[in-house]
Structure 1
Amino acid sequence: MRRQKGRGIKLAASDLLNAADENQKRALAEARRQGAPEGGDGRSSWISPTVIRGTMRTAETALIALSGLALWVAYVDDFSRQSLIYYLPLIAIGAIAVPALFELGGLYTIHALLRGVEQLARVMLGWLTFFAVVTATVFLTKIGVAYSRVWLVAWFVAGLVALTAVRIAASALIKRWNTDGRLDRRAVIVGGGEPAARVIEALRASPDTDITIIGLFDDRNDDRSPPVVAGFPKLGKIDQLVDFARKTRIDLLIVTLPVAAEDRLLEICRKLWVLPVDIRLSAYTQKLRFRPRAYSYIGNIPFLDVFDKPLSGWDHVVKIVEDKIIAALLVVLTAPVMAAVALAVKLESRGPILFKQKRYGFNNELIEVYKFRSMYVDQADQAASRLVTRNDPRVTRVGRIIRKTSLDELPQLFNVLKGDLSLVGPRPHATQAKAAERLYTEVVDGYFARHKVKPGITGWAQINGWRGETDTEEKIERRVEHDLYYIENWSVLFDLYILVRTPFSLLSTKNAY
């Protein structure tokens, strides 16, 4: 009987564990479904509130200035020096002062922008306040004769209509983003048990956190880390988190482990730093205290910054604008060259002009990269499992020329316009690329950290001589070092410097076959 009873206890425990595993799998699948990136391209769909506020300020500044200028040109029709002295400064003051009044009144917060219609009275009050001050100033200084009363009234009405229209349109758009969850950062808690529960409850009680917690990941399976913490499920172990973040939109990782657990923290950070997300260490439950300015805050909860997502906020916007504008210009400028290369490829050997290859892109997403075909069509290596070497018989005569000069990569400008590539960034590598017969991921620890930004047509490594064949482990190690340096030190000027240097670096064809 004892043996049967013991066996029954073991079976019951096994059933409970299996049930817990099934619940965890279901929770993990649901979290992945809810956080699936739009369009399946792996790019985060979170929209920075900083960008929204800045865009609104810029739009309203432009509307105020343009409405005043348009009416001055259309009605006043006086471009004398005296007219310029009186009208242009007043228009400039209005374009600066009114957004400043809106800022002081809290009209650029996400909360205010979401309630666009309800906030119209405050918008009107700010606009009316400016004109009241203008009217009083004109009257007291006796310069009323310098201004057209029709123009002033028309500017007041036109500006009010424009501001009202943009507020209503912006409110509708921002409400849709809010409904889609694009204004909230999707966060994962790393750690479990009581410390995680205390952080979650503090975030719940903190106002305006813009955080949506979707679950927890923890390696522990004992009483210290139950399957549900403060209402949120444990979705898996730390090793599973990297794969989860590759397939799901994650913006923030909150680590709730104590600072005293130094070895465990270092191990977790070593695994997670390759992800393009913000990583924060909770200081809420820590006994060790630093000076207030050492912390960043979510709501009123203190955190220590461990890693920041590169190219976020305005940097992300600037990078996109830079890519689109310069790539479009380069397509126009290089169109004759691309036409000539396409004709040469077609005339020399049968097969398609373009070669399309799967490579790793942002956040390890597979993208299809375009190149002019440089190999015989029946010897093409889609996975690049065998690197091209000097006098490689698979390469055509035209192929040798365009590979040495990198003309084969000109079609990647269309990848940039499509949004898969950037002009400057770590070069995208083929899935089976090797260095000294070892996959790149086996050679370089943390290799995938170079995928925290979009890959580029050219990069810091390429202009420093680390392009072409990687027949030794040192070559891929140096290339990755340069890629990580670029990610950590990005700026527009850095990009422009690399772009200017790229044509000169192509003169060196030592490693290009």
Structure 2
Amino acid sequence: MTAGAPGGMQAVVTRGYLDPADEGGPRFRSLVQRRLQCYLALICGDLAALYVGFVAAGYLYLGAVGITQASLLSQLVMPVFLTIALYNGAYSMRALESAQHGGLRAALALLISAAAVVFIAFYTKSSHEFSRILFSLGIVLSLLALLWVRTQMRDFVRWRCGPRVLSELLIVDGGPDVQLGGAWQVDAQALGLRPALDDPHALHRIGLLLQAADRVVVSCAAERRSAWTTILRGANVSGEVLEDSVAELGAHGARIAGGHGWLRISVGPLGLRARATKRLFDIIVAGTGLIVLSPLLLLVAIAILVEDGSPVLFIQRRVGRGNRFFDIVKFRSMANVANDGHGAQSASRNDARITRVGRLIRRTSIDELPQLFNVLIGQMSMVGPRPHALGSQAGDKLFWEVDGRYWQRHALKPGLTGLAQIRGLRGATEAEEDLQERLDADLEYVDGWSLWRDIAIIAGTVTVVIHERAF
């Protein structure tokens, strides 16, 4: 297997760059964790520079006795500096790409934090407790140390991330053969990648490849451009397709690189800070929920065992973020011999397959509670589009056959609850309209995420736990 290496060179792809993944799908190295390591290193380096700068100032001005006072001053400045630096771009993607930009933003954060500390000290009438000369000298030396550290960190960033801090992937699928400096190039045909919107397994393979990418560019034949557009929109990445006419039209949302026009057709819905916030929220809520609800979970498990034996849990393959498969966990509510592993037959109001315990836990949505484990391990989120089984149908059509936008709902992790659920859009999809309404709600959620909206949806879920269409 080969791929285009940075700079247009051809190289054999080795482990750590483009690996064979589960079920025959390919994937290459993600830089997300390495970027986080670089951000952490920058923070530690900046704080060390501040501390050394103040301690050096204390020693130069007052000798050994000044070290203690200087150390206290540095501890006053550090939290203010970090707060400002986190918001002014000192720890941004551009700061990793350019040491000069990062150093200037960090220097600005230090000067603003120094002014803030002086302002606070003045109004609290505590400025007499420390030496103004020592404080000023500490700021100057810290500033010099900070700029020096930022310059030295360039080698660390390159060691961890390579020449680029973004994982950029170029997929060639019958389109013009182009070269993007620094991007990893793969041949879709050689890897068996097909943008087939009617084949979840084909989309799963593509999802495995895209999950490590920050930005994806596709050069494909015109007849496959629409399919790739749909896939990229549901992949939680910044995506572009090659369209040379953009260079002639000068269209908005496009760029020109390497003599080709690139049409921007997708942007990941959540940035790093939003993803971290949403994940932290999920861990707190799911972890708390499992602890509080553990007696109920145990009672339900015992009731299922007594009525219909084992297994207690029902595991089914569903479609998750980036159109990748995962196994969802629920309490088993149907007779063991009647479980539908593919989800081709939705449960109906008087479904004979449902046990007595199953009817109760489905009516109260208790059967969904084991999915808190899916949330805790990162396969699901507390709030998001509900995950569907591969065989789910609306009327006599598979879900993705009803509306081509269906795959775009997978740009975010599937949720334990969602916007569609609090609007009462749940239960069997007997007609295509039933799916259409839910899809519209899911895409609305994907396009407008916020933490407060997640909290509101969870609060709203409490009012629809028992619902006339929960059966």
TM-score if structure 1 supplies the norm length? 0.64
Cα offsets for 1:436-493 (capped at 9, x unmatched) = 3432233333322222221111111111111122222221222222112211222212
| Residue 442 (structure 1) aligned with residue 401 (structure 2) | yes
Asked if structure 1 preserves the Cα contact closer than 8 Å seen for 2:386 and 2:415, the reply is: yes
Structure 2 counterpart of 1:314, from 273, 278, 286: 273
Residue 247 of structure 1 and its aligned partner are, at CA, apart by 3.7
| Residue 403 (structure 1) aligned with residue 362 (structure 2) | yes
Cα offsets for 1:347-367 (capped at 9, x unmatched) = 322112222222222223221
Q: Cα gap change, 1:266/1:343 in structure 2, threshold over 3 Å: closer, same or farther? A: closer
Q: Secondary structure at the match of 1:108?
A: helix
Q: Secondary structure at the match of 2:95?
A: coil
1:347-386 paired onto structure 2 within 5 Å: 347-386=306-345
> Aligned partner of 2:95: which letter?
Y
1:248 equivalent in structure 2? 209
Q: Cα gap change, 1:180/1:34 in structure 2, threshold over 3 Å: closer, same or farther? A: farther
Structure 1 counterpart of 2:428, from 452, 466, 469: 469
Alpha-carbon distance between aligned partners in 2 of 1:109 and 1:489, rounded to the nearest angstrom: 28
Residue 101 of structure 1 and its aligned partner are, at CA, apart by 11
Alpha-carbon distance between aligned partners in 2 of 1:99 and 1:251, rounded to the nearest angstrom: 21
2:239 equivalent in structure 1? 279
Alpha-carbon distance between aligned partners in 2 of 1:145 and 1:328, rounded to the nearest angstrom: 48
| Residue 184 (structure 1) aligned with residue 167 (structure 2) | yes
Q: Bigger CA drift: 243-252 or 86-95? A: 86-95
1:118-197 paired onto structure 2 within 5 Å: 146-147=129-130, 177-178=160-161, 183-189=166-172, 192-193=175-176, 196-197=177-178
Asked if structure 1 preserves the Cα contact closer than 8 Å seen for 2:232 and 2:266, the reply is: no
Residue 49 of structure 1 and its aligned partner are, at CA, apart by 9.0
Identity across the alignment (%): 26
Structure 2 counterpart of 1:333, from 287, 292, 317: 292
Residue 290 of structure 1 and its aligned partner are, at CA, apart by 3.8
Asked if structure 2 preserves the Cα contact closer than 8 Å seen for 1:246 and 1:363, the reply is: yes
Alpha-carbon distance between aligned partners in 2 of 1:437 and 1:402, rounded to the nearest angstrom: 28
Asked if structure 2 preserves the Cα contact closer than 8 Å seen for 1:65 and 1:95, the reply is: no
Alpha-carbon distance between aligned partners in 2 of 1:350 and 1:489, rounded to the nearest angstrom: 44
Alpha-carbon distance between aligned partners in 2 of 1:245 and 1:31, rounded to the nearest angstrom: 19
Residue 408 of structure 1 and its aligned partner are, at CA, apart by 0.7
Alpha-carbon distance between aligned partners in 2 of 1:336 and 1:433, rounded to the nearest angstrom: 33
Cα offsets for 1:56-88 (capped at 9, x unmatched) = 66666777899999x9xx967xxxxxx9xx898
1:215 equivalent in structure 2? 186
> Aligned partner of 2:389: which letter?
A
Residue 400 of structure 1 and its aligned partner are, at CA, apart by 0.5
Residue 494 of structure 1 and its aligned partner are, at CA, apart by 1.8
Structure 2 counterpart of 1:460, from 419, 424, 434: 419
Alpha-carbon distance between aligned partners in 2 of 1:65 and 1:307, rounded to the nearest angstrom: 41
Cα offsets for 1:231-285 (capped at 9, x unmatched) = xx99877659956523423543435689xx8x88557635754444322255887
Alpha-carbon distance between aligned partners in 1 of 2:87 and 2:356, rounded to the nearest angstrom: 64
Larger radius of gyration: 1
Q: Cα gap change, 1:300/1:66 in structure 2, threshold over 3 Å: closer, same or farther? A: farther
Residue 377 of structure 1 and its aligned partner are, at CA, apart by 2.1
Alpha-carbon distance between aligned partners in 2 of 1:169 and 1:480, rounded to the nearest angstrom: 50
Alpha-carbon distance between aligned partners in 2 of 1:306 and 1:215, rounded to the nearest angstrom: 20
Residue 320 of structure 1 and its aligned partner are, at CA, apart by 1.6
Asked if structure 2 preserves the Cα contact closer than 8 Å seen for 1:215 and 1:235, the reply is: no
Q: Cα gap change, 1:39/1:495 in structure 2, threshold over 3 Å: closer, same or farther? A: farther
Residue 94 of structure 1 and its aligned partner are, at CA, apart by 5.4
Residue 401 of structure 1 and its aligned partner are, at CA, apart by 0.7
1:109 equivalent in structure 2? 96
Q: Secondary structure at the match of 2:248?
A: coil
Alpha-carbon distance between aligned partners in 2 of 1:349 and 1:244, rounded to the nearest angstrom: 37
Q: Cα gap change, 1:505/1:283 in structure 2, threshold over 3 Å: closer, same or farther? A: same
Q: Secondary structure at the match of 2:32?
A: coil
1:512 equivalent in structure 2? 470
Q: Cα gap change, 1:385/1:296 in structure 2, threshold over 3 Å: closer, same or farther? A: same
Q: Secondary structure at the match of 1:358?
A: strand
Q: Secondary structure at the match of 1:369?
A: strand
Residue 416 of structure 1 and its aligned partner are, at CA, apart by 0.7
Alpha-carbon distance between aligned partners in 1 of 2:152 and 2:371, rounded to the nearest angstrom: 36
Q: Cα gap change, 1:343/1:103 in structure 2, threshold over 3 Å: closer, same or farther? A: closer
| Residue 45 (structure 1) aligned with residue 16 (structure 2) | no
> Aligned partner of 1:45: which letter?
S
Asked if structure 1 preserves the Cα contact closer than 8 Å seen for 2:400 and 2:406, the reply is: yes
Alpha-carbon distance between aligned partners in 2 of 1:23 and 1:146, rounded to the nearest angstrom: 66
Residue 381 of structure 1 and its aligned partner are, at CA, apart by 2.2
Q: Cα gap change, 1:415/1:406 in structure 2, threshold over 3 Å: closer, same or farther? A: same
| Residue 481 (structure 1) aligned with residue 444 (structure 2) | no
| Residue 288 (structure 1) aligned with residue 248 (structure 2) | yes
Alpha-carbon distance between aligned partners in 1 of 2:208 and 2:88, rounded to the nearest angstrom: 43
User: CA RMSD of the aligned region, Å?
Assistant: 5.5
Residue 414 of structure 1 and its aligned partner are, at CA, apart by 0.7
Asked if structure 2 preserves the Cα contact closer than 8 Å seen for 1:189 and 1:253, the reply is: no
> Aligned partner of 1:471: which letter?
E
Residue 316 of structure 1 and its aligned partner are, at CA, apart by 2.2
Residue 431 of structure 1 and its aligned partner are, at CA, apart by 2.0
Asked if structure 1 preserves the Cα contact closer than 8 Å seen for 2:38 and 2:160, the reply is: no
Q: Cα gap change, 1:373/1:242 in structure 2, threshold over 3 Å: closer, same or farther? A: closer
Q: Cα gap change, 1:453/1:173 in structure 2, threshold over 3 Å: closer, same or farther? A: farther
Q: Secondary structure at the match of 2:170?
A: strand
Q: Secondary structure at the match of 1:355?
A: strand
Asked if structure 2 preserves the Cα contact closer than 8 Å seen for 1:253 and 1:280, the reply is: yes
Gaps in structure 2 of 5+ consecutive residues: 4-9, 59-66
